[in-house]
Amino acid sequence: MLNSVNQIRVELQEIASAHLQINDFFWGDFLRAYKENTELNYVLMGCFYPTASLLNNQTQLTLTIYICDRVYKDYSNLNDVESDTLQICRDVYNVINSSFRWKRIGRVQGATCQKFIERGGDEVAGHTLTIQFLLRDKSGICELPMQGYDFDQPVVVPSECDPAELLIVTDKGVELYNLSLLSGSTNTQSIQASTWQVINTDNDALNNGTVAAEGSITIIAPDSYWILDNTDGTQLLTGSIPSGDTNTIIAPDGTAQIKHSQGGTIANVLVPSGATELYTVADSNIEINGNYEFSIHATHTYDIRLKDQSNNTITPTSITANPNHADIVINMAPPVGATLMKTGQTISYRKGDDGDIEAGRDVDFFTLASNNPFGNSNRFTDILGGQTYTNNWIIDWSTYNGSNVLGWYRIGVRSFIITWGNAIDFAISETFGTFSNCRIPNKTEAHSIINSGSVNGLAYSPFNFAGGLEFWTSTTNLNTTGQAFTQIANGFNTARSHSNPQFALPCRTFTVNGTILT
């Protein structure tokens, strides 16, 4: 038996060496192959037998053969790997089941194939081919490698021989019969009649019958029936052709119907059979806001490039396509040199004062002249475009330039009374409401949120600060460089010594991508 298993191993290794798609062979399961070989070359063929059954004059092996290949991390080649390894399993099975060198070793009883994915150091996929294989074992009991043991066997008459095995195969190697013949016995086997079948090129059965063993038969091909269809399967003409004859079929003229993508008909053109008809589709007109501007060739791609006055590319907020028009929405950032914001003072105390003229940009102190990226005209919103401020960040859309916008952490002024240097360091190093990279505002930024329409310029929502509070700016007083300006909530600026503790109101610049702020 040892020689027989070794012979199977050698035969399987020769199959692996001869097969053009197999690059490595291992005798043992896949786990051993991965542990014992530092580098495996795929496609890998591995073999082992987990169980064996001892029968009279035969040993039944459960022969397990796995064929696998490496798969990519995104599994983009998984279908190809499974298809290739299944075909290789079929190749190996055909050799074991049909070649005479394997029939001298034994015969196949049955086979199954199952796919697998192995996620180890190498992520591989493939198929496991399980073959029930009967090994021929004609050794008698007296041929066992034992000495000095009385088997108590009856005396064998010298003229008697071991049972013989009768194997009848076709000229294609297909096994028909397999049985054992006792020594001195005879056995008559009748070869069954064969069946024949006539099929056409589409693999449809036309006729069938039987042929006695060693007999012959003459098959007369039936007449053919022809059908002329167009490309969508509609039947145009039919007829029959006697077996062995030819028939000339004249295709009818066709009609070309030219439609656009929405189903409307552009033209109907009669096309004679076998002819080519040229038809030119008219150019398409391009209108902008309902006014004709130019034409483009039908079916050609037209690249619309959005630019500003400085020839910079503009990325639209949204594009909505319709059958005959497209809506392109663009967020218009304030131009360079934009008008200053309104102060918020609306009460006039004499003609020509601020409350009378209300000079400045936007509708009023709280209302933008156009919508922010969230589709509303609120100057102040939270980071989601609403006004709940659950994370205490206030976004001031009057500072939006199309890419960036200024935000304020509103609870800072109520929580920190620290020196100027510590205020700057604290804003840089800390995280406020999940956002870092903060800073102390400069003098102009700090004054921009003062509402001059109120005695306490920061008493409005969403800031709601008490009057008289001062918070640091990052701007130094050049008259006395040991001082920095502070912003007082009532709207005034003053300068304080760097060591004089004040409140701190952190701010940061947000990057705007659609409605996402980072």
CA distance 23 to 44: 6
Residue with the larger pLDDT of the pair 327 and 182: 327
**Which H, E and C letters describe 119-177, residue by residue?**
ECCCEEEEEEEEEEEEEECCCCHHHCCCCCCCCCCCCCCCCCCCCEEEEEECCCCCEEE
Domains of the chain (ranges; CATH) run 2-136 (3.30.70.1700), 362-517 (3.10.100.10)
What would the pLDDT profile of 61-94 be if each residue is shown by its tens digit? 999 999 999 999 889 999 999 999 999 999 999 9
407-450 tens-digit pLDDT? 999 887 555 689 999 999 999 998 998 999 999 999 999 999 99
Give me the pLDDT at residue 387, please. Answer: 96
Q: Are 406 and 455 in contact (CB under 8 A)?
A: no
Say whether pLDDT at 310 is over 60.
no
Q: Does residue 347 have a pLDDT over 50? A: yes
Percent of the chain, pLDDT > 70? 90
Residue 368 has pLDDT above 90, yes or no: yes
pLDDT of 140 reads: 64
Say if residue 506's pLDDT is above 80. Answer: yes
- Average pLDDT for residues 9-20, to the nearest whole number? 95
Q: How large is the average pLDDT for residues 183-194?
A: 74
Whether 34 shows a pLDDT value over 90: the answer reads: no
Asked if residue 421 lies in contact with residue 408, where contact means CB atoms within 8 angstroms, the answer is no
Report the Cα–Cα distance between both ends of the chain, in Å, rounded.
73
So what's the pLDDT on residue 395?
A: 98
Cα separation of 460 and 505, whole Å? Answer: 16
- pLDDT higher than threshold 80 for residue 241: yes
For residue 40, give the 3-state DSSP assignment.
coil
* Kind of pairing between the strands at 24-27 and 44-48: parallel
Mean pLDDT, rounded, for 487-500: 89
DSSP designation for 398: G
Q: Is the dihedral of CA 31, 36, 41, 46 positive or negative?
A: negative
Mean pLDDT, all residues of the chain: 85
What is residue 389's predicted lDDT score, i.e. its pLDDT?
A: 94
Q: Which pLDDT does position 1 carry in this prediction?
A: 47
Structure tokens at 100: 């005479």
Nearest to 468 by CA among 455, 451, 477, 484: 455
What pLDDT sits at residue 2?
A: 46
The torsion of the CA quartet 343, 407, 388, 449, rounded to 10 degrees, works out to -20
